[in-house]
Amino acid sequence: MIIVYYVLFFIAGAAIGSFLNVIIDRLPGNQSLIKPPSHCSVCNTRLSAKDLIPIVSYIWLKGKCRYCGAHIPLRILLVELITGLLFILVFWRFGIAPQLPVLIIYSCVFVVITVIDLEKGIIPNSITYPFILIAILVTTFLGSGINNNIFLIDYFGWRQNLPFLANLFDSLIGGVLAFVFLLLIAIVSRGGMGMGDVKLAAMIGFITAFPMVILALFLGIISGGIVAAILLITRRKQRKDTVPFGPFLCLGALIALLWGSNIFNWYLGY
């Protein structure tokens, strides 16, 4: 029976991934997500339902437009696949629980930010600002970092008597800490890091909350540093070239949300 759930979550994730592609294409240009309907960007022909079946349509059409034969970016397929797999991963980690829809939404947001940053080199404020507010509300009512139950500070005894207020403080501390830390790096690097990354870090801080934000930032910085070093060694990038940092912040946040407590406990035990 569990296999059926995995299949259903994958199908739902792939379908959502198809919509995420629309967001990725249109949001940076401040275009409507509804109008015009999905169409080929080359011949402008409106796509029919059979052209929009997630994953299947891309494979069946061999990555080409049915009407003009223009190449369809591989990213379309990858986003649908990755989103489907993320839905399975979150369900496997938490099952049917209050965290499930929240983490699915956060995962989708991280996918959108990652792809836009990789393709356009920007992180839209239209994503970070609303989700800062959403993250504060969610963290306040569902708990710090959603999966975080260690090292929690008992502010004036609020943890027992006023848990919502304590959760709010965790979120605020996480967001401010991440914002200040990345802002200092941006100032010191003199353009090596943009304000989009700083605001994204703040959003992640509000999502993961204190102290899980420390792990999220650490994982993002380490993974980004490793990839940057590999690109330099292989000469895919030069020292003056920029490497988008948003994807690594999103990766660190996702790992922290899914396995943060396990990683902390493993580290302390080690």
Note the pLDDT tens digit of each residue in 36-58: 888 778 787 888 888 888 999 99
Cis amide linkage into residue 211, ω under 30° from 0 = yes
159 exposed, middle or buried (CB, 10 Å; 0-12, 13-18, 19+)? Answer: middle
Taking 70 as the threshold, does the pLDDT of residue 95 lie above it? yes
If asked whether residues 135 and 224 sit together in one domain, one would say: yes
Residue-wise pLDDT for 230-258, tens only, equals 888 887 777 776 788 999 999 999 999 99
pLDDT at 126: 94
Q: Confidence band (pLDDT; 50, 70, 90) for 144?
A: low
If asked whether residues 150 and 108 sit together in one domain, one would say: yes
Q: Which of 96, 113, 136 is the last residue of a domain?
A: 96
Whole-angstrom Cα distance, residue 11 to residue 91? Answer: 13
If asked whether residues 160 and 45 sit together in one domain, one would say: no
Taking 80 as the threshold, does the pLDDT of residue 156 lie above it? no
If asked whether residues 171 and 264 sit together in one domain, one would say: yes
If asked whether residues 33 and 57 sit together in one domain, one would say: yes
Q: Which of 64, 96, 128 is the last residue of a domain?
A: 96
If asked whether residues 26 and 71 sit together in one domain, one would say: yes
**Number of separate domains in the chain:** 2
If asked whether residues 219 and 133 sit together in one domain, one would say: yes
If asked whether residues 177 and 230 sit together in one domain, one would say: yes
As given in the structure block, the two tokens for residue 159 are 């943890």
Taking 60 as the threshold, does the pLDDT of residue 27 lie above it? yes
Of 260, 263, 134, the closest CA to residue 206 belongs to 134
> 184 phi and psi, to 5 degrees?
-65, -40
Taking 80 as the threshold, does the pLDDT of residue 113 lie above it? yes
> Which range marks the domain in which residue 78 is found?
1-96
pLDDT at 146: 58
As given in the structure block, the two tokens for residue 89 are 């991963």
If asked whether residues 71 and 44 sit together in one domain, one would say: yes
A 10 A CB-CB count for 137 gives 12
Place of tokens 């990839």: 227
